[in-house]
């Protein structure tokens, strides 16, 4: 396929929908649990720095990092600076990095030690006084999910979460491990924070192209006209990865692709693709529209899961020219593990707009390429027309490349003047990803402003778990085949057959 046009689509500023109200940036304290961890080093500190460079951090912000590791403030600040040098998308600027890291303080705290929270409260208050900032407190829990409950309970018991200003809580995924544990967790969080105050982060919602889906539909009435079952044949959502499980066997061997990617990221992408654009683009209305989509998912019966779901596991192979071991050989994976490293599903949304249009989702580790994309396949009225039988007319496709490249393409059929044959041709608008803010930048910025549009509401999370629960049970009971696929392939052949039965193929 050939690109006949490639232009910069929009700059980062235009990604935010013009009609969404920006809230004022209040002075605040950001309390970061897990400040010595991987996510903080690789994503959160660089995101904060880039927001600072863009003037999107409040002038008066006190950032307090927490962990059990014994750091002084100075060593912690140096670690923050090191992480910027390694991971910031923009180079560190010598003239301002000192000022940036001076906003950080560190407090040694074991989250289970209730008594140590009084030291944290003292530090928060002394910085609030020193910097003259009001009691607005944002708590970011960048820690393993099993610590979330104890932290919120202790924040409440120590009165740290009793503020005269506002309080907000950012919680990382995964939110629970199934429907029941997610409900239990939510109930516990609700004792200290109300729904308005809880920001459930899903970093796929922070990807610029995902945020742009809403804008694309809203700002292009032509697309809105095409966005329904009269015109669309199917929708395909792919999140394929070349990486394996890295050093995360302990977590991944329990979670599998179904919990790690499908329940959250893929279903969120499905909601963002299928939602009706609300009249007002407020967070509340966007979340309501998303909820209506996930609520309308046709339930899958456990007994029928094998008709709609494919699970797979990688065997040894070659990825991007390098030999790699199979899942069973990965350090930390239990013997004869039946864990899924590949997940594909066919879903239906029982609304008037989407009735009987299949949505196919798939994700997997150790596949041939890294690509997150959404493909809308339009109905091909020439498909069964005998006059065009041998002409090879492809269906029109609208393709949103989300990661690592960002582009929107429309696949159209053109006649090659030399061969007189129809050729599929891509009209592509690509975005220069290097100048885009990263997901965590966009999401942190929203949380600082109190904008919840791109965070998951509890109902979305609960309904996603509810849809997936029978499938989890079918997996647990080993009621579905586990298809092996070679590392470096496009996944199990069974996933191709899932679409072939419906007369389609993966794009
Ligand atoms: N890393 C990533 O790319 C991504 C991570 N996430 C999620 O983010 C969260 C954090 O992940 P990640 O940073 O990778 O995890 P790490 O294991 O790298 O870090 C865990 C952090 O928790 C702290 N911690 C652990 N136990 C305690 C305790 N008892 N008291 C106080 N602090 C404690 C550790 O500090 P110390 O050892 O100093 O006590 C460390 O700072 C997880 O929920 C993960 O699922 C989500 C998406 C991507
Ligand atoms: O949340 C997760 O996402 C990553 C993939 O994220 P991406 O931004 O690189 O597409 C995945 O590797 C990881 O297993 C999962 O926990």
Is residue 433 within 8 A of residue 10, CB to CB? The reply is no
Q: Which ligand is nearest to the CA of 109?
A: 1
| Ligand 2 near 241 CB (within 6 A) | yes
Residue 293 has what DSSP assignment?
Answer: H
Is residue 145 within 8 A of residue 259, CB to CB? The reply is no
- Looking at domain 25-172, its CATH superfamily turns out to be NAD(P)-binding Rossmann-like Domain (3.40.50.720)
User: Do β-strands 137-141 and 322-324 pair in parallel, antiparallel, or remain unpaired?
Assistant: unpaired
| Ligand 2 near 372 CB (within 6 A) | yes
| Ligand 2 near 172 CB (within 6 A) | no
Dihedrals phi, psi of 201, to nearest 5 degrees: -85, 135
Q: What is the residue with the minimal CA distance to atom 30 of ligand 1?
A: 110
174 upstream amide cis, omega within 30 of 0:
yes
Is 265 an annotated catalytic residue? yes
Q: What is the residue with the minimal CA distance to atom 15 of ligand 2?
A: 260
Question: Range(s) for CATH 3.40.50.720 in the chain?
Answer: 25-172
User: Residue 436: in which H helix or E strand, if any?
Assistant: none
Query: Other CB atoms closer than 10 Å to residue 223's CB: what's the count?
Result: 16
Q: Which ligand is nearest to the CA of 439?
A: 2
Query: What pLDDT score was predicted for residue 344?
Result: 98
Query: Other CB atoms closer than 10 Å to residue 298's CB: what's the count?
Result: 13
Considering the candidates 229, 265, 457, 483, report the single residue annotated as catalytic: 265
Please tell me the distance between residue 186's alpha carbon and the centre of ligand 1 in angstroms.
20
Query: What pLDDT score was predicted for residue 21?
Result: 55
List the structure tokens of 271.
């909601």
**What is the C-alpha separation between 354 and 234, in angstroms, rounded?**
9
CATH for 205-438+457-501? 3.30.360.10
Residues in the chain with pLDDT < 70?
A: 1-23, 387, 389-390
pLDDT tens for 357-397 read 999 999 999 999 999 999 999 998 877 777 676 677 889 99
pLDDT tens for 44-78 read 999 999 999 999 999 999 999 999 999 999 999 99
3-state secondary structure of 385: coil
Query: What pLDDT score was predicted for residue 16?
Result: 44
Query: Other CB atoms closer than 10 Å to residue 247's CB: what's the count?
Result: 12
Atom of ligand 1 nearest to the CA of 141: 9
pTM: 0.91
| Ligand 1 near 69 CB (within 6 A) | yes
Query: What pLDDT score was predicted for residue 280?
Result: 76
Binding-site residue numbers for substrate are: 203, 207, 241, 260, 365, 370
| Ligand 1 near 67 CB (within 6 A) | yes
Please tell me the distance between residue 37's alpha carbon and the centre of ligand 1 in angstroms.
5
Query: What pLDDT score was predicted for residue 282?
Result: 86
Query: What pLDDT score was predicted for residue 13?
Result: 40
| Ligand 2 near 260 CB (within 6 A) | yes
Q: Give CA separation, 351 vs 31, 186, 237, 277, 356, in Å.
A: 42, 28, 19, 14, 9
ipTM exceeds 0.85: yes
Question: Range(s) for CATH 3.30.360.10 in the chain?
Answer: 205-438+457-501
């Amino acid at each position: 396929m050939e690109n006949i046009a490639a232009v910069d689509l929009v700059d980062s500023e235009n990604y935010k929908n013009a009609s969404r109200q920006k809230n004022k940036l209040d002075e605040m304290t950001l309390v970061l649990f897990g400040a010595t961890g991987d996510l903080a080093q690789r994503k959160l500190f660089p995101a904060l720095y880039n927001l600072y460079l863009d003037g999107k951090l409040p002038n008066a912000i006190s950032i307090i990092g927490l962990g059990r590791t014994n750091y002084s403030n100075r060593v912690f600040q140096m670690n923050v600076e090191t992480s910027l040098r390694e991971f910031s998308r923009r180079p560190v600027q010598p003239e301002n990095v000192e000022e940036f890291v001076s906003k950080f303080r560190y407090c040694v705290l074991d989250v289970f030690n209730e008594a140590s929270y009084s030291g944290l409260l003292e530090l928060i208050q002394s910085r609030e006084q020193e910097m003259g900032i009001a009691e607005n407190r944002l708590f970011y829990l960048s820690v393993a999910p099993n610590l979330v409950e104890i932290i919120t309970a202790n924040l409440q018991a120590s009165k740290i979460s009793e503020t005269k200003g506002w309080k907000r809580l950012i919680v990382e995924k995964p939110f629970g491990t199934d429907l029941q544990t997610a409900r239990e967790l939510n109930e516990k969080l609700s004792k200290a924070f109300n729904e308005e105050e809880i920001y459930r982060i899903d970093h796929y919602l922070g990807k610029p192209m995902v945020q742009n889906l809403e804008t694309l539909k809203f700002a292009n009435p032509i697309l809105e006209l095409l966005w329904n079952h009269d015109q669309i044949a199917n929708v395909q959502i792919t999140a394929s990865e070349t990486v394996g499980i890295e050093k995360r066997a302990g977590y991944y061997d329990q979670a599998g692709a179904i919990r790690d990617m499908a329940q959250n990221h893929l279903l969120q992408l499905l909601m963002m693709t299928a939602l009706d654009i609300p009249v007002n683009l407020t967070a509340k209305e966007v979340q309501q529209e998303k909820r209506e989509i996930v609520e309308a998912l046709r339930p899958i019966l456990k007994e029928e899961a094998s008709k709609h779901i494919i699970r797979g596991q990688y065997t040894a192979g070659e990825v991007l020219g390098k030999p790699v071991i199979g899942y069973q050989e990965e350090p930390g994976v239990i013997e004869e593990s039946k864990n899924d490293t590949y997940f594909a599903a066919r879903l239906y949304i029982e609304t008037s707009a989407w009735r009987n249009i299949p949505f196919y989702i798939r994700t997997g580790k150790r596949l041939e390429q890294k690509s997150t994309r959404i493909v809308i396949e339009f109905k091909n009225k020439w498909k069964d027309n005998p006059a065009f039988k041998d002409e090879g007319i492809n269906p029109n496709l609208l393709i949103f490349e989300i990661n690592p490249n960002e582009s929107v393409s429309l696949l159209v059929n053109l006649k090659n003047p030399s061969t007189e044959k129809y050729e599929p041709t891509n009209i592509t608008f690509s975005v220069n990803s290097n100048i885009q803010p990263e997901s965590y930048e966009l999401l942190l910025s929203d949380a600082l402003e109190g904008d919840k549009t791109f965070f998951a509401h509890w109902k979305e999370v609960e309904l996603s778990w509810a849809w997936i629960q029978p499938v989890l049970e079918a997996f647990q009971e080993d009621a579905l085949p586990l298809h092996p696929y070679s590392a470096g392939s496009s996944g199990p052949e069974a996933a191709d057959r899932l679409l072939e039965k419906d007369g389609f193929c993966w794009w």
